[in-house]
A and B are shown apart, each in its own frame.
Chain A
Amino acid sequence: MKKFLGYTGLVMLLVPLQTTLLPHVAIWDIKPDLGLVVAALVGVLAGELHGLIVGLAIGWILNLYSAGDLWLNLVTTGGAGLFAGLLARQVAEITPTILAVGLLFLSLAGGLVAVLNMKSATMADTWWMIQFVVVPQALFDTAVGAGLLWFLEQRFAVPRFGMLDRYS
């Protein structure tokens, strides 16, 4: 119950953060996708099932405040939580660097799926979006995710989230 309330609070807090506050820190109109970062972090720290469920909830609720397709948000954010959890099982210790590499991969994959799904985009538009939206956002997500993990390590003095910390 405590965990459920924690996740609910987290998801609800993400909406104003992502839609109201993050546009102020956007660089060249690009802001990080906190939903994806949080879903991936939950997947890494709590396992793929939690990652998937929290990712789906984040994808659905953030989609209420986006012009995008629902299925795309569900699949990319839920998928990020699931795959982050699955990938984390293959790693003995989660360090900010490892998380950064995983997030880069997940964000690029999600961004590419979304851009390639755009119906009215020409080849030039697609290429422009990849260069100036997908790649910068993936880098931004990577930096924010690694920064968040580093902060959690410092704040809660958790040494590198070893396998036992995560699944015990």
Chain B
Amino acid sequence: MWMVNVRSPHGARRLALGMFALLLAALLLFPGQSQGLLDYLDGPVGQLVRLPLEAVSSLDQGISAMWQQYVSLQHVADENRRLKQEMDWLRGEINQLREAGSATQRLTSLLQFKEQALPAMVAAQVIGRDSSNRYRSVILNKGESDGIQKDMGVITPAGVVGRVVKTTGATAVVLLLTDPNNAIAGLIQRTRDEGIVEGVPQGRAKLKYIPMLSALKEGDRVVTSGLVGGFPRGLAIGTITAIDREEGALFQTAELAPEVDLNRVEEVLVIQAPQSQSADQTARPDPGTKR
């Protein structure tokens, strides 16, 4: 029987190269099966890694909190945090009122409102950032065991943060709005033109596929259209900062400044059951509660 002596340099080299070749072949020929096998192991490993991750994360948050509260002027920091929270709430409320006003105007002739249930949400904390530099994502301290699944929308009271792309039992990875691999259906609040919001590598976002006849202008606000799953209609995405109208192009593109400061987001809400897609009423999220 052929055997490899791993203690000899040649044996170890042969074995390593063979394993690597086998792995490459398995990943290329049976991508689904090999991924499925590892997915099966993700749950227990995720639970195991959760312990050091949460320990370091709480230490990190403790040090950050101590720095903010005691070193950099305790009262000013407290007041500032309270005011920022209040401002986020008010921004969200203004946005919802705008959306509600706009919807009211369009629907006065119909008057067939259906009672809408508020979407169920789970509050979660950001405990880390993407392990690589190539993706813009954050890691949440809640996962499958808390009812979080792939493709669920993630927001703060101020607006959209991103979408869940990966989960383990104890954690979830949220691809941010500003990642080029993310796409969310958006709507210009004033003109009601729809488009797709995508991230750009430089860390901003853009609204693509806006009709050429749309009379959008800088400062227009973009909200979720609710046409695809994950987000109910009317959640703030961002504000248009620049418009790109190319000669001969079929669509316009607009640059967006995201409503949420995605570099500083600490607590988020995961939308577990988005409102029905035809919903015209928007829901005010209630952080910290699980409904």
Contacts and interface: CB of A to CB of B under 8 A. Distances in A.
Nearest to B7: A167
A20 B202 contact: no
Query: At the interface, is chain A mostly helix, strand, loop or mixed?
Result: helix
Contacts of B109: none
B56 interface: yes
Given A15-B49, A75-B24, A85-B16, A29 B133 contact: yes
B168 interface: yes
A52 B20 contact: yes
B131 A35 contact: yes
Interface residues of B, number: 53
Interface in B17-37: 17, 19-20, 23-24, 27, 31, 34-35
Contacts, number: 151
Nearest to B202: A128
Contacts of B130: 19, 65-68
A82 B17 contact: yes
Contacts of B248: none
Interface stretch (B112-120, B172-180, B218-226, B228-236): B172-180
**A contact residues, range:** 35 or more
Interface in A36-92: 47-49, 51-53, 56, 60-68, 70-71, 73-75, 78-79, 82, 85-86, 89
Nearest to A85: B16
Given A16-B55, A21-B60, A114 B16 contact: no
Interface stretch (B40-48, B187-195, B268-276, B283-291): B40-48
A150 to B, nearest CB: 24
Nearest to B19: A52
A73 B175 CA distance: 17
A48 B131 contact: no
A12 B52 contact: yes
Contact of A137 (B19, B133, B135, B203): B133
B137 A66 contact: yes
B166 interface: yes
Interface stretch (A96-104, A118-126, A153-161): A118-126
A95 interface: no
A48 to B, nearest CB: 4
Contacts of B56: 16-17, 20-21
B48 to A, nearest CB: 7
Given A52-B20, A132-B201, A133-B133, 12 more contacts: A19-B127, A19-B131, A31-B133, A33-B133, A48-B17, A64-B45, A65-B131, A66-B166, A70-B38, A71-B35, A82-B17, A133-B201
25 contacts: A16-B52, A16-B55, A17-B56, A19-B127, A20-B60, A20-B129, A53-B19, A61-B49, A62-B132, A65-B128, A65-B171, A66-B130, A66-B131, A67-B137, A68-B132, A68-B134, A68-B135, A70-B35, A75-B24, A85-B16, A86-B16, A118-B181, A128-B201, A133-B133, A167-B9
The 10 A-B residue pairs whose C-beta atoms are closest, nearest first, are A19-B128, A16-B56, A67-B135, A67-B137, A62-B131, A48-B16, A49-B12, A71-B27, A49-B16, A66-B131
Interface of B: 6, 9, 12-13, 15-17, 19-20, 23-24, 27, 31, 34-35, 38, 42, 45-46, 48-49, 52-53, 55-57, 60, 127-137, 139, 165-166, 168, 171, 173, 175, 179-181, 198, 200-203
